[in-house]
Amino acid sequence: MKKDLLSVADLGVEDIRLLLSDAIDMKAQGWVSSLSGKTLAIMFQKPSLRTRVSFELAMRQLGGQTVYLSPAEVGLGERESVADVARVLSRYVDAMAVRTFSHQTLEALASYAGVPVINALSDREHPCQALADLLTICEKKGDLNGLTLAFIGDGNNVARSLMLAASLSGVNFRIATPAGYAIDDATFNLAQGNAVGTGARIFCTEDPRQAVTDADIVYTDVWTSMGQEAEAKSRRKAFAKYQVDAKLLSLARDNALFMHPLPAHHGEEVAEGIIDSPASVVFDQAENRLHLQKALLAAMLGGLEIPLAGYR
């Protein structure tokens, strides 16, 4: 049984179902004291708005507390070794939420830590975002099973986590990427394996129109992620035909949702005005980071009477 959440693959079908159910309950419930006396270390190498605020408020609303550790204070792997940081923090706190450039750093931390480590974003995955996205879709559409989500853009960390989350929840996942920017084979094969049990269909293409046609959800993300700034010019050229605009969105179902994890580059990956359109649930996604992470922290730190199977 895994103590950490480094990837959506660390969860099973039932884990995700319970997380979403608990998040819905906690959203309605508000502030409680189930994690009184518990402390979460928030250790970030990258800037953050939603992730930091949502994790801090999640712990406070559950009665716990947080300690924020900036890059300058820790110097992870530079000022102090990853192994030493993990072992020291394990003596102080009950869990760590870590936002790092390298997924390998996250894995190393988890291997030395004696407390749960949560991936708050790495270059490999963004599991908390994908799970909050499922919560948003569930709220807006009801049953997830059989819905179709079309992801347009880069096969990045958000896309990987979404593909895995969709495959575990019965959501058909289509992704349209330019040549050279597709989802890696390992993630695709893992998702295909999950889909055998849930009935989800996983489809990759280079044609955005093919991906979006009759989709229930249309999703995009920035073309250039943090740490890829030197590639910005070449990426804008490669992704020029992958902007989600009104014309592309019109190919989806009439009641299709538009999603984006933020921050967004208005006029680049998403046309001006789309985020403010009736189809957009972008700010619902942002809010639901808080509620999903409350459910996750409660499950991992003993704040639920019936914890997730993977954390018993």
Residue 182, pLDDT score: 97
289 burial (CB, 10 Å; 0-12 / 13-18 / 19+) is buried
pLDDT tens profile 227-275 = 777 888 999 999 999 999 999 999 999 999 999 999 999 999 999 999 9
Q: For residue 304, what pLDDT band results from cuts at 50, 70 and 90?
A: low
Check whether residue 215 and residue 173 sit in a common domain.
yes
pLDDT tens profile 30-72 = 899 999 999 999 999 888 899 999 999 999 999 999 999 988 7
Length of the chain: 312
**Which structural domain, as residue segments, surrounds residue 19?**
8-126+289-311
Is residue 3 in some structural domain?
no
Percent of the chain with pLDDT over 90: 87
Residue 224, pLDDT score: 86
pLDDT tens profile 201-225 = 999 999 999 999 999 999 999 998 7
Is residue 18 in some structural domain?
yes
The whole-model pTM stands at 0.94
Check whether residue 63 and residue 188 sit in a common domain.
no
Residue 79, pLDDT score: 79
Is residue 229 in some structural domain?
yes
Is residue 1 in some structural domain?
no
CATH code of the domain covering residue 233: 3.40.50.1370
Distance CA 218, CA 246 (A): 11
Q: For residue 309, what pLDDT band results from cuts at 50, 70 and 90?
A: very low
Distance CA 25, CA 203 (A): 33
Distance CA 42, CA 47 (A): 12
Is residue 2 in some structural domain?
no
Check whether residue 282 and residue 293 sit in a common domain.
no
* Cα 164 from chain centroid (whole Å): 10
What rounded mean pLDDT belongs to the chain? 93
Check whether residue 95 and residue 234 sit in a common domain.
no
Check whether residue 99 and residue 118 sit in a common domain.
yes
Report the alpha-carbon angle 142-148-198, nearest 5: 80
Check whether residue 274 and residue 140 sit in a common domain.
yes
Q: For residue 2, what pLDDT band results from cuts at 50, 70 and 90?
A: low
Check whether residue 158 and residue 281 sit in a common domain.
yes
Check whether residue 221 and residue 174 sit in a common domain.
yes
Residue 307, pLDDT score: 45
Q: What is the DSSP string of the chain?
A: --S-BSSGGGS-HHHHHHHHHHHHHHHHH----TTTT-EEEEEESS--SHHHHHHHHHHHHTT-EEEEE-HHHH-BTTTB-HHHHHHHHHHH-SEEEEE-S-HHHHHHHHHH-SS-EEEEE-SS--HHHHHHHHHHHHHHHS--TT-EEEEES---HHHHHHHHHHHHHT-EEEEE--TT-PPPHHHHHHHHHHHHHH---EEEES-HHHHHTT-SEEEE--SS-TT-GGGHHHHHHHTGGG-B-HHHHTTS-TT-EEE--S---BTTTB-TTSTTSTTB-HHHHHHHHHHHHHHHHHHHHT-SSS--GGG-
Check whether residue 122 and residue 255 sit in a common domain.
no
Check whether residue 174 and residue 260 sit in a common domain.
yes
Count of C-beta atoms within a 10 Å radius of residue 297: 28
Whether the pLDDT of residue 308 is over 70: the answer is no
Number of domains in the chain: 2
Whether the pLDDT of residue 171 is over 70: the answer is yes
33 burial (CB, 10 Å; 0-12 / 13-18 / 19+) is exposed
pLDDT tens profile 117-129 = 999 999 999 999 9
Residue 298, pLDDT score: 95
pLDDT tens profile 79-119 = 789 999 999 999 999 999 999 999 999 999 999 999 999 99
